[in-house]
Amino acid sequence: MSSTGLFVTLEGVDGCGKTTQATLLVEDFQNKGREVVRLREPGGTRISEKIRLFVLDPQYDEMCDECELLLYEAARAQLVREVVQPALERGAVVVCDRFYDSTFAYQAAARGLPANVVSMANSLGSCGLAPDLTLVFDLDPDEALERATHEATDRVEGEGTEFQRKVRNGYLKLSQDDPNRVHVVDAVGSVEVVHARVRKVLAECLGGSWS
């Protein structure tokens, strides 16, 4: 898949603050005159938003891990084919709140599905597309979950702190395995302080195209 754009993904445990940081990052790229497409996973297309409603709905507590995995991948494939791939081909910056690293952290590291199975599913769901840069917002799950559940508890947030701790460890493993792409950002501190850390990582990774 050829692309001239830039694909940036934001990751972390529920309540880590990545959505607020995504807004600021989008503004940064827009201020540099770039077209920016902001997305979230699961979601971003008619089909993927429908899947989101279904996969996060707490009433489906009988959902097995394999079913959950495949629903996330189905939502992802539609998003990649319908939105991400065309946006990258026309040179846009795509900022996506979660992508396939979430599937590794949640479905493999936390739920316990075998990593090789999740990896194969991710290949299919991403249609072979990999992010250029991934920021993992790292925050203690107790603090993060408190933020996340202020408004509503979805099916995944309802899993509690121990689950989120496994998710966090999954992300830390990903950053060790793929340090050139996956960058951990300390998410402790004010919105401005964390945003400054994000800008530092982008300057280091993107160099001239960022400054």
- Which spans of this chain sit near ligand TMP (rule: CB under 6 A)? 14, 40-42, 56, 72, 98, 102-103, 106-107, 156-157
| Residue 14 vs 29, nearer CB to ligand TMP | 14
Minimum CB distance to ligand TMP, residue 168 (Å) = 12
Q: Which is nearer to ligand TMP, 16 or 87 (CB)?
A: 16
- CB nearer to ligand TMP: give 6 or 41: 41
Least separation in angstroms between residue 191's CB and ligand TMP is: 17
Residue 177 CB burial class (10 angstroms; 0-12, 13-18, ≥19): exposed
Instruction: Tell me the closest approach of the beta carbon of residue 69 to ligand TMP, in angstroms.
Output: 8
Q: Judged by CB, which is closer to ligand TMP: 6, or 51? A: 51
Contact present, 17 and 139 (Cβ < 8 Å): yes
SS3 assignment for 113-167: CCHHHHHHHHHHHCCCCCCCEEEEEECCHHHHHHHHCCCCCCCCHHHCHHHHHHH
| Choice between 120 and 203, CB closer to ligand TMP | 120
Min separation Cβ 82 and ligand TMP, Å: 16
| Cα–Cα distance, 95 to 170 (Å, whole number) | 22
In this structure, are residues 103 and 122 in contact, taking their beta carbons and an 8 Å threshold? yes
What is the rounded distance in angstroms from the CA atom of residue 98 to the CA atom of residue 11? 5
Query: Helix (H, G, I), strand (E, B), or coil: what is residue 10?
Result: strand
Least distance from ligand TMP to the Cβ atom of residue 196, Å:
23
Q: Which of 80, 77, 126 is nearest to 101 (CA)?
A: 126
Q: Judged by CB, which is closer to ligand TMP: 178, or 204?
A: 178
Distance, in Å, from the CA atom of 193 to the CA atom of 136, rounded to the nearest integer, reads 15
Kindly report the number of other CB atoms within 10 A of residue 91's CB atom. 12
Shortest CB 183 distance to ligand TMP, Å: 18
